Amino acid sequence: MGLFSKLKSVLTKTRDGISKKLNDLFASDKLGEEFYEELEDILVSADVSIKTTMEIVDEIRETAIKEKCKDKEYVVELLKKELFDTLDYAEPLEIKRPAVIMVVGVNGVGKTTTIGKLANKFVREKKSVTIAAGDTFRAAAADQLSVWADRANVRIIKHDEGADASAVVFDAIGSVKAKNTDVLIIDTAGRLHVKANLMEELKKMDRVVKREYPEANFYKLIVLDATTGQNAYNQVEVFSQAVGLDGIILTKLDGTAKGGFIISLSYELEIPVCYVGTGEKIDDIEDFNAKDFVDAIF
């Protein structure tokens, strides 16, 4: 199954919510102000933010009026183009070796699983990979990550539970430099902004990477559970303020009818979506493609 087919499958709820409403809207055979107001409602109901929705609809309205267009297929194509341009607004991320990828996010978003999938993806691309078990806070976190490391057939560097997470990162960097490893993926403890000690630990890990491995290409990726919708804004802003963010990894898209939130989030915060989880298996992660995403929700 190709990426488009997988995306179409996981976006079923979002697509059903948008497509049915669009069909009902176009069946009314009107392109007046009421039409655009209803189009705004459809996008907002899919969790596209009000700000981004208004910008998208204003562009469509302006173009349709200029072109004197009343054809619904043309308007659909205008909508798809605007959604693509909005989603593609942030500069895409290219992972270059040697790479250090620090994966952050709150508890329960699927960080451990995502790291295992990422490691496996890089191995499939003929890259050498090491995982650093930087979550020393949660009981058995390193053990769970070890299972995924075994599945992906990659090395893992870990310390005892309760150890200094920055020490794990320090040792992992020494190891990957010695072995000329292509990619180091760092797990971190799931945390909220109210956990001040964990946020400070994250900043410390960030400093260790920059100090000990300045020649590496350092990326910070946040894992977001798509079912949280607009609530993900707060998560992105908090982590971005703490260590900066280079990209987004989406999980659990199949569980929501509000997948549109990622369009406005990526656009307004100028952070690209890099990867999307498309299932539970270790191979179920793909490079994100804005065109495929837009096509999959129509």
Whether 251 and 114 have beta carbons less than 8 Å apart is answered as yes
Residue 193: the pLDDT is: 53
Residue 194: the pLDDT is: 55
Return the higher-pLDDT residue of 31 and 187.
187
**Interval 106-116 mean pLDDT:** 92
In this predicted structure, the answer to whether residue 4 has a pLDDT above a threshold of 70 is: no
Residue 297: the pLDDT is: 77
Residue 257: both structure tokens together: 């009818």
CA distances, 98 to each of 139, 184, 208, 222, 272 (Å)? 31, 8, 16, 20, 21
In this predicted structure, the answer to whether residue 9 has a pLDDT above a threshold of 80 is: no
Of residues 205, 1, 179, 196, the one with CA closest to residue 97: 179
CA distances, 198 to each of 38, 57, 193 (Å)? 44, 41, 8
**Interval 117-136 mean pLDDT:** 96
pLDDT tens string 201-230: 999 999 999 999 999 999 999 999 988 888
Share of the chain above pLDDT 90, in %: 51
CA distance 194 to 191: 8
Nearest 5°: the CA angle 257, 45, 190 is: 55
